[in-house]
Amino acid sequence: MIESLLVANRGEIARRVLRTANRLGVRTIAVYSEADADLPFVAEADEAVLIGPANVAQSYRNVEAILQAAKTTGAQAVHPGYGFLSENAEFARAVEAAGLIWVGPGPAAISAMGDKINARNLMAAAGVPVAPGTTDPAASVDAAVEAAAGIGYPVMVKAAAGGGGMGMGVAADEAALRTEYAKVQTFAERMFGDGAVLIERYFARVRHVEVQILGLADGTVVALGERECSVQRRNQKLAEESPSPAVTPELRARLLAAAVRAGEAVGYRNAGTVECLLEPATGEFFFLEMNTRLQVEHPVTELVYGVDLVEEQLRVAAGLPPLFDPAALAPRGHAIELRVNAEDPKRFLPGPGAISTWVEPTGEGVRVDSGYTAGTTVTPFYDSLMAKLVVYGDDRAQALDRARAAVAGFEIVGPKQNLPFFAELLEQAEFVSGDYDTGIVGRMR
């Protein structure tokens, strides 16, 4: 097993990775910015290294500073968490070039899946269903209009290098497409340094379902079930659950088989997620993207499948076999995750601030992965995620009941927070029935 691990991240995910590593007796190293000096993850590591000011370019995206911290502390491996440099192939290469173990998929897989057009074409060649769309970037707005005429309106306009729900727009006609193309291209150039644009069919009523895969050290790719991720605002997830209420055993078999083919097509190793769009009326699903990292919502899979995905990541990186039997994987019970963000519960605008009270719920089937405690501050420099409230039940009805009680028992005073939204969601008839889609939040507002 890996003997020492540097976690190149912050907040909730840093604590999550440190928790498993500390349990395994792995020496842990945290890196932190000046803005995060008082957060729990810094104290919970065996060593902690200040790598720069709050600005991410000077701290959590500062490759040189992170590698220097690894060298100074004698780290053997680097876990990137999610966000920041986690899907940066050049960072992965730099880690390996420094003689360190990269806890994630290889740089080639990250590169292959990082460009959405390239990823679509690879998946189509591997027999994974893809939505109708362009196989090359739409080099101009006129080319986009021509492509849309063949695909049929409405269409989704997407940044080829985007991710996390960013760099996307919907166009119902040519005029809207010309506007959205310019917006997405400008955004993509600014955020990703790549203005390439992809045009795809847009589904008015669709569910967002993803499959957790794990590429094992022996080259085998296995799927650990699906997650429902349709509760979203601005194409970004707010709540997830596993198994998906929309997925039948027959559909699950097809979804998981396609996800395994996707992983095999790029020689995938370590944890990753194959995201799909599912049309509820037809049962058709289409490849959306592959996230070449550990997902925010991985805890629901851990609870339903009885695995520690971070431990399995470390084992793959160390060349060790999994602790579970791939042939015996099957879902048991039901899990729901709610992303507790420092944001207004009505408009979902960020609301950072100092935390004066932080009381986490407890009880059977309740898990809280948090990045903060009372006396700490949610700053405006980073993502608004404060904690993930995860509940498990023998079935979905019990999980819903436990989620309602847990939301009521979670007390946060100081920053704005979206717990009131979740209290509303958990009583909303559409969500309770399980028959919902990605438009559910819009219908609630």
Question: What is d(CA 203, CA 269) in angstroms, rounded to the nearest whole number?
Answer: 32
Strands 285-291 and 221-233: unpaired
- Give catalytic status of residue 293 as yes or no: yes
Q: Of the listed 120, 269, 293, 367, which one is catalytic?
A: 293
**In 209-296, alpha helices (H):** 249-265
Residues 155, 171 contacting (CB under 8 angstroms): yes
Residues of the chain by 3-state class (helix, strand, coil), percent to 5: 35, 25, 40
Judged by DSSP in three states, 125 sits in helix
- Using left for φ > 0, alpha for ψ between -120 and 50, and beta otherwise, residue 152 falls in left
Output the CA–CA distances (angstroms, integers) from residue 354 to 38, 187, 308, 339, 345, in the order listed.
Answer: 12, 31, 32, 19, 18
Residues 7, 100 contacting (CB under 8 angstroms): no
Question: What pairs with residue 236 in β-bridges?
Answer: 233
Closest CA to 295 of 228, 372, 248: 228
> What's the distance, CA 295 to chain centroid?
3
Catalytic residue set: 293
